[in-house]
Amino acid sequence: MYPGAHAAHFPEKPAVIVAGTTEVVTYRELEEQSARLARYLDAAGLRRGDHIALLTDNDPRTFEVYWAAMRTGLYFTAVNSHLSAAEIAYIVNDCGAKALVVSAHLADAAAKIVPDTPAVTIRLSYRGPVEGYDSYEDALAGSSPEPLASQPAGMDMLYSSGTTGRPKGIKPPLRDHQVDQPTDVTQVFGPMYGFDTETVYLSPAPLYHAAPLRFCATVQALGGTVVMMEKFDAREALATIERHRVTHSQWVPTMFVRMLKLDDAVRSKYDVSSLRVAIHAAAPCPVEVKQAMIEWWGPVLYEYYAATESIGVTMIDSEQWLRRPGSVGKAALGVIHICGEDGRDLAVGEVGTIYFERDEMPFAYHNDPGKTAEATHPQHPAWSTTGDVGYIDDEGFLFLTDRKAFMIISGGVNIYPQEIEDAFALHPKVFDSAVIGIPDAEMGESVQAVVQPAPGITASPELAEELRTFLRDRIAHYKVPRGVDFVDELPRTPTGKLVKRKLQDRYR
């Protein structure tokens, strides 16, 4: 399915509402604008398998460009708008984009990359002029809204967030069918969460990230309404749920933490009873945080574990999670294998690298066969991993331990930072925390905590010792950080992922 299928039945229904504004894009407008851009790109010579890139903030035109690519057989790459000009140019060049659409809100970076992206032949800017770009609005005005006779399905080709290194392009194979046929995402997640024409879906995260983009597209493919926040704010998110009677939403755990730390009077002010499904993913959720959210919102929390690489999916609802706190669910797509260093399957309860078995390898890292090989099981070419570590219980429920790259080996003992970070999550004097391993002449590595104090809390040696004492009551003493440093802000992506590489570089 795609928006054009619904434009014929309810043309004036909102496909996108921009939260906090009066801006609305109807299904008729989304269908016509995406068809106009598709025709423009086709007339300019782009063909199935070519690439279009988008550099924007959270803007409803994102969906016009996305659906134009999906109905023209193109690869669509959304670029992280928080990157430097050099990093943006790298992604535009690496993905092989022939067309680049930008928002005038990012005019400085967009203009800077023009000389550094010579393979781009089509440049369009919306919301205003940008040096070196033609007008997006003028281009569409001169193009017909009549759909092309053939509309081969395109695919997104997104880039990893680069939390452990340079961003990697994740390239799935193009599907051999038309845009109106279902995808894995619509077939798996649509029935699971009850997405339909009555859905009102709140998206508070950046659209260049895989989950917000793909879930918003799924809602539109199934005829629901996307309510898009331009930027996450804890209080405004609650107000938006009440204002638009949101039925479905998706979050990352840091957003839960921010909302839980609002004053009780603020939290109780807003009516969130319309919520039927609150999805969360992208990062492990501390057990205490999730318990508190279920107590507040009711058993509407649904968690899934997946990756931009689409290697597989697990799912768990609130009732299942309350019986197995900390689990991310059972496999819904692919077969889970927990493997040791030698690649062999481990027994139930043993911690190892998480692989998903599919009928075939679902992706390749663009221009990087070495990285693709690292993600592929050495004996099974259809098993792949993103480097996460965990175990399964006797009923097949998966528990995440951490990323293999973040594991600390101290005195020969494996220590997983996530467990320590989870313990810090709801401490009233901690706004944010990260735990890393730093070089230690005796132990190989020692455990180091880096903490952003809560507003109004002063960093001090006394606070550091208070936090260490707090941890000793909750985790094994050998896991308690030897050092606690304080910072004004931790390096996180806008989707909430810690960029530990930056912290590790600083200490090493």
Q: Show the low-confidence residues of the chain (pLDDT under 50).
A: 164
pLDDT of residue 403: 75
Give every CB contact of residue 138 below 8 A, 6+ residues apart in sequence: none
Residue 489 neighbours by CB distance under 10 Å: 8
Q: Are residues 164 and 61 in the same domain?
A: yes
Q: What angle do helix axes 61-70 and 27-43 make, rounded to 10 degrees?
A: 50
pLDDT of residue 162: 57
Q: Are residues 414 and 381 in the same domain?
A: no
**N- to C-terminal Cα separation, the chain:** 50
Q: Are residues 416 and 494 in the same domain?
A: yes
SS3 269: helix
CATH code of residue 316: 3.40.50.12780
Alpha-carbon distance 481 to 484, whole Å?
A: 7
Q: Count of domains in the chain?
A: 4
The answer as to whether 4 is a domain residue is no
Task: Please provide the size of the chain in residues.
Answer: 508
pLDDT of residue 503: 87
Q: Are residues 160 and 200 in the same domain?
A: no
Alpha-carbon distance 445 to 88, whole Å?
A: 34
The answer as to whether 5 is a domain residue is no
Alpha-carbon distance 400 to 404, whole Å?
A: 11
The answer as to whether 413 is a domain residue is yes
Q: Are residues 264 and 291 in the same domain?
A: yes
The token pair at 62 is 């994102």
Which secondary structure element, helix H or strand E, spans residue 399, and what is its range? strand 398-403
Q: Are residues 49 and 167 in the same domain?
A: yes
Do the strands 313-316 and 301-305 form a parallel or antiparallel pair, or are they unpaired?
A: antiparallel
Give every CB contact of residue 7 below 8 A, 6+ residues apart in sequence: 27, 28, 30, 31, 32
Do the strands 430-440 and 301-305 form a parallel or antiparallel pair, or are they unpaired?
A: unpaired
Alpha-carbon distance 98 to 271, whole Å?
A: 47
The answer as to whether 53 is a domain residue is yes
Residue at which a domain ends, from 133, 155, 175: 175
Which secondary structure element, helix H or strand E, spans residue 77, and what is its range? strand 75-79
Sign of CA dihedral 401, 406, 407, 411: negative
Q: What angle do helix axes 253-260 and 287-297 make, rounded to 10 degrees?
A: 60
Which secondary structure element, helix H or strand E, spans residue 500, and what is its range? helix 500-507
Q: Are residues 398 and 413 in the same domain?
A: no
Contact between 353 and 339 (Cβ < 8 Å): yes
pLDDT of residue 495: 67
Do the strands 200-203 and 248-251 form a parallel or antiparallel pair, or are they unpaired?
A: parallel
Give every CB contact of residue 309 below 8 A, 6+ residues apart in sequence: 170, 362, 363, 375, 384, 386
Alpha-carbon distance 21 to 41, whole Å?
A: 30
Domain that holds residue 441: 407-507
SS3 154: coil
What order of strands is seen across the sheet that includes strand 430-440? 430-440, 444-453, 483-486
Q: Are residues 160 and 205 in the same domain?
A: no
Q: Are residues 166 and 37 in the same domain?
A: yes
Tell me how far the alpha carbon of residue 490 is from its chain's centroid: 19
Alpha-carbon distance 462 to 458, whole Å?
A: 10
The answer as to whether 442 is a domain residue is yes
The answer as to whether 19 is a domain residue is no
The answer as to whether 64 is a domain residue is yes
- Structural Rg of the chain based on CA atoms: 23
Do the strands 335-339 and 301-305 form a parallel or antiparallel pair, or are they unpaired?
A: unpaired
Where b means 16+ CB within 10 Å and e means fewer, 253-278 reads bbbbbbbbbeeeeebeebebeebbbb
CATH code of residue 427: 3.30.300.30
